[in-house]
Structure 1
């Protein structure tokens, strides 16, 4: 990847299109937003694959991310809590817990930051 400096940030071109990145949200995605998004969406995507592979029927998955930052240390990300809202019929809490364990082990983004950012998960099941 190549990042080109602009007046208020950087841009890069990826397969999907041009990505604008800036410390100022008026000019692009903020770096911490991209990091949190990568972790949340990677986890959600892996969870979807695991549910499908285990033949667990679901109709929707939403991932909410709560972020804790440390202002005293360059505003570093210290903790990301992922809350999965899984919609479906007759979902088993035990099976979802096991699916989340597999998800955590197979999400490359979670595995990349696990020793520097605390990642926690919770879930709720809703009737579809």
Structure 2
């Protein structure tokens, strides 16, 4: 895998993936940024959240679970001093589907956390990561 991060100005950057996608990253105004993009540490959490969500959705679909939505709500704590690394991360999945089996959802979350999600398994080496989930019935508003 290869990516490129190009400096734009100030503390603004454009990250480009080898698959041709781009994203703007920027620092906070108090650090010279213009607030035109995500902060790099936000992007790291989003990447981890997408990685683990990919696993959970895929595992549930393969288990023939009637999943219609999956949202990973992630809360992270950081060290007070530089480097302000993540010290704790909690991933809470809100999985929606009529008749979802809680045991299957729990299994999918556990498999992602312990076996499949490269991003969260890598981050677990640096900080505590916990997981939780809730199941919601779909609303037909």
Q: 2:24: which partner in 1?
A: 20
Alpha-carbon displacement from aligned partner over 1:68-122 (angstroms, at most 9, x marks no partner): 1111243221111111011112222222111111111101111221110221110
- Mapping of residues 84-103 of structure 1, within 5 Å: 84-103=93-112
CA contact (8 A) 2:4 2:15 kept: yes
Q: Relative contact order: is structure 1 or structure 2 higher (C-alpha 8 Å, sep ≥ 6)?
A: 1
89, 109, 130: which one pairs with 1:120? 130
Give distance in 1, aligned partners of 2:48 and 2:15. 20
- Mapping of residues 62-101 of structure 1, within 5 Å: 62-101=71-110
What TM-score do the two structures reach when normalised by structure 1? 0.89
Superposed CA RMSD? 1.6
Give distance in 2, aligned partners of 1:27 and 1:100. 33
Q: Which runs of 5+ in 1 are unaligned?
A: none
Give distance in 1, aligned partners of 2:7 and 2:76. 28
* More strand by percentage: 1
How far apart are 1:13 and its partner, in Å? 2.4
5, 29, 47: which one pairs with 1:38? 47
Q: 2:7: which partner in 1?
A: 5
- Count of residues in Structure 1 that have an aligned counterpart in Structure 2: 128
Q: 1:106: which partner in 2?
A: 116
